[in-house]
Amino acid sequence: MKLYKQFIVSPHAHLHLSQFDPDDTAGFNKGDKTHAHLEKNIEHMSDLQYRLYAEGRRAILIILQGMDASGKDGTVRHVMTGLNPQGCRVTSFKVPSDEEARHDFLWRVHKAVPAHGEIGIFNRSQYEDVLVVRVHELAPKSIWSARYDEINTFENLLHKNGVTILKFFLHISKEEQKERLEARLKDSTRNWKISPADLKERERWGDYVKAYEAVLKKCSTPMAPWFVIPSNKKWFRNLAVSQIIVEALERMNPKFPKPAFDGFEEERRPRLEQFLIGGNGCLRVGNNLAIHRD
Ligand code: ADP
């Protein structure tokens, strides 16, 4: 299954979001089999994260964008659930604080980039500066229109420094958004998530579509690709995002480093294992590493 290739946006693609079906499920059906697939992906991701952490030479940055109620929070909750918090950082980008607004737009973003060995997740990102800023004219066109190139240059710098970047646009229909916002309004445990601003933003749906199309066209690059994920069906969104992350981590193929001193294999490892394993024959470190005694 290669969802990576199926949902990637080609560089400079002249695309219209109307060409993408938000109900698409790539032939998958909801049910136990698909759920088991997601569980397997989550387990595999955890395993690969452990290797990435041990290797300590590269990082992965996952960017989540989408209209309000498209499922950015839900994706973090359902897909990243198996990751070890020690090697993982989620950053949500809100309206810039006074201090952030006194710096260039990438200042707060650069500070949140994952270090080598880490997985970074951005809930919104630098792209807000060519989305909400463009739609609401929060800066002059001369400023925001230069940012596509500035973002590409920035992401190229990260890529050269060993950061693999995956950018997900969670694509829902306007009708699906309406249903989700209405469901939130009715649910006392979730209506805190809704604000009058969300309803106002919905009126600008068409402007956001145009702003997203520009982002996808100008900023999907070989070193930092965008993926358009059909997201009307939450279960498929979770499956597709998890699958693409796993495929990217497999391509990275992080390796355990060699021990930092000579003679470890012959001399020290057997003794260390004996020491760690003790009497019961098996040791688990976190969820990942199991050393078994023969
Ligand atoms: P969320 O909707 O992500 O759950 P909030 O309701 O707090 O969280 O919304 C965050 C808001 O911050 C969004 O409306 C988003 O457009 C806005 N925002 C993020 N980055 C910027 C930015 N650079 N300039 C202006 N507004 C921004």
Check which CATH number belongs to the domain holding 182 and give it: 3.40.50.300
Per-residue exposure over 48-80, b if at least 16 CB sit within 10 Å of its own CB, e if not = bbbbbbbbeebbbbbbbbbbbbbbbebbbebbb
Rounded to the nearest integer, the mean pLDDT of the chain is 91
> Do both 264 and 244 map to the same domain?
no
> Do both 114 and 237 map to the same domain?
yes
> Do both 234 and 199 map to the same domain?
yes
Share of the chain above pLDDT 90, in %: 81
> Do both 217 and 286 map to the same domain?
no
How many domains is the chain built from? 2
State the distance from the centre of ligand 1 to the C-alpha of 65, rounded, in angstroms: 11
> Do both 151 and 89 map to the same domain?
yes
Tokens of 4: 């990576």
* 3-state SS assignment for residue 224: strand
Query: Whole-model pTM?
Result: 0.90
pLDDT score for 1: 53
> Do both 264 and 238 map to the same domain?
no
**Which residue is closest in CA terms to ligand 1's atom 10?**
94
Q: Which range marks the domain in which residue 196 is found? A: 4-252
| Contact indicator for 211, 135 with CB cutoff of 8 Å | yes
Check pocket membership of 208 for ligand 1, CB cut-off 6 A: no
**Which residue is closest in CA terms to ligand 1's atom 21?**
95
For a substitution probing ligand 1, which of 130, 132, 151 has the most ligand atoms within 8 Å of its CB? 132
Per-residue exposure over 97-113, b if at least 16 CB sit within 10 Å of its own CB, e if not = eeebeeeebbebbeebb
pLDDT score for 259: 79
> Do both 15 and 105 map to the same domain?
yes
> Do both 240 and 268 map to the same domain?
no
| Contact indicator for 118, 59 with CB cutoff of 8 Å | yes
> Do both 220 and 288 map to the same domain?
no
Check pocket membership of 165 for ligand 1, CB cut-off 6 A: no
> Do both 191 and 133 map to the same domain?
yes
DSSP designation for 114? P
pLDDT score for 219: 98
- Digits of tens for pLDDT over the chain (294 positions)? 589 999 999 998 889 999 999 999 999 999 999 999 999 999 999 999 999 999 999 999 999 999 999 999 999 999 999 999 999 999 999 999 999 999 999 999 999 999 999 999 999 999 999 999 999 999 999 999 999 999 999 999 999 999 999 999 999 999 999 999 999 999 999 888 888 888 889 999 999 999 999 999 999 999 999 999 999 999 999 999 999 999 999 999 999 998 776 766 677 677 667 666 654 555 544 444 444 433
Q: For residues 90 and 128, what is the distance between their CA atoms, to the nearest angstrom?
A: 16
State the distance from the centre of ligand 1 to the C-alpha of 124, rounded, in angstroms: 7
> Do both 127 and 178 map to the same domain?
yes
